[in-house]
Structure formats: structure tokens, C-alpha cells
Amino acid sequence: MAFFQFSSLHLDILKEIGNIGAGNAATSLSKLLNKRIDMKVPDVKIVSFDEIVELAGGADSVAAGVFLRIEGEAPGNMFFILPLPQAENFIRQMIGEEEFSFSNPIPNEMAFSALQELGNILAGSYLSALSDFTDLALYPSVPALSIDMAGAIIGSGLMEHSQAGDYAIVIDTSFNEDMGDTLKEVRGHFFLLPFPDSFKTIFKTLGVNEDE
């Protein structure tokens, strides 16, 4: 099966989904850390597997990735990807340890569960906003965390997409933590990757025909 033709209306709807979902998640993050979080306008792209890995920083770059499977009426996968310095920064703020670093040889259980919980909260708020907007029942799995090469993290979540073709539709919302005047270009990403068959369901529930 192939992806059907997307019109600009379809792409706008998917952007709106990213906007609503990630907007809600950014609010949760902002409350959790008591900081301003700048969210970018979502990007909806039809990308090759290599391109999606590039979006996450490149196959070899090390990132923290929280991965969830979405079950229910419009199944898919979701990634919350953070560059390492950004992940360290969030962990420091959540567990109150200024010195925390991934390069410390002694593994810090607390840090990992904090990051996993962060992923859980953000994905939960992303999905509940999405569920409200579309009126579809969507259930997140328990999140799994991996700190490794971006290629290995993302590549392991593209199985269902790869059965249907060599492309995936990604709803990508990136965000920056407001660090005052030293606004660094470290970006986190939410990738929402509905399975190919889920797009029909999403458009249908929003009252848009496939050929519109």
C-alpha cells in the first residue's frame, strides 16, 4: 500500500495536530521546570529514514530518546528526542543535582527514571490533547528510554513504516528552553509517526475526505 496524495489541507491538519499536542506538552514541561519553553511551529514532512535520523541530529550523534508506542484507533510511534546537554540540563533541574552528567561513570538511577518520567508526562499531555482534538481513543505504552546513537534509537521505531515503504510522515515539533540571553541552539524534538494506515482514520474523524 502507498501513502495517498496529501493536499495542503491534509498537511495543515497534521500541523495543527502537532501544534495542539506539542503545545500542551510544552505547557506541562514549562510547569514542571518552572521555566519558559519556546515551541516552534510544527513541521510536517514526508521523509526518508535517513532524513528523519538527520532531523534528530545525525545517525552517529548521541541523544536521549524516549520512545512510546501509541495504541488505539490511530496507532503509531512517538519519540521525544533530546540532545545530551539538554537532557542533562533537564535532569539537573528535576533532581536538583547541579553536578549531574552522563559522563559520570557511576550510573544514576534517579536521573534515568526522572528522564523517563519526563517523557511519560510530555507524551501523555501530547496524546491527551490529540485525543481530545480528534475524538480518537489513543493509549500510550509505558515509555522506554535509551541514550545512544540517534540512528539506532530512531531506526528501531520505524519497523511498521518500513513494511509499507521507504518513507515516513513525521510531525516534528522542536522546542528550545529559554536560557535568557544565551539562547543556545539545543533543540528537543517530538516526533509523531502515525502508522501509514492511521492517516485515513485521522482525516476521517476530522471530517476531511482523502481526496480533498
What contacts 147, CB < 8 A, 6 or more positions away? 62, 63, 64, 65, 84, 87, 102
The minimum distance between CB 158 and another protein, in angstroms, equals: 7
Query: Least distance to another protein from the beta carbon of 47, Å?
Result: 11
Given a contact cutoff of 8 angstroms between Cβ atoms, the answer to whether 63 and 81 are in contact is: yes
Q: How far is the CB of 33 from another protein (least distance, A)?
A: 25
User: What percentage of the chain's residues is helix, strand, coil (to nearest 5)?
Assistant: 45, 25, 30
Residue 211 beta carbon to another protein: minimum distance, rounded to whole angstroms: 21
94's grid cell: 528535576
Q: 53 and 151 in contact (C-beta within 8 Å)?
A: yes
Question: Nearest to residue 146, comparing CAs of 82, 191, 96?
Answer: 82
Cell 482534538: give the residue: 133
Nearer to another protein, 113 or 176 (CB): 113
Q: Which residues contribute to the site for another protein (CB under 8 A)?
A: 1-2, 48-50, 53, 58-60, 62, 67, 69, 141-142, 144-160, 162-166, 196
Closest CA to 67 of 167, 136, 152, 185: 152
Closer to another protein by Cβ: residue 42 or 157: 157
Query: How far is Cα 128 from Cα 165, in angstroms, rounded to an integer?
Result: 29
- Of 163 and 209, the one with the shorter C-beta distance to another protein is 163
Least Cβ distance, residue 65 to another protein (angstroms): 8
- Give whichever of 167 and 190 is closer to another protein, judged by the CB atom: 167
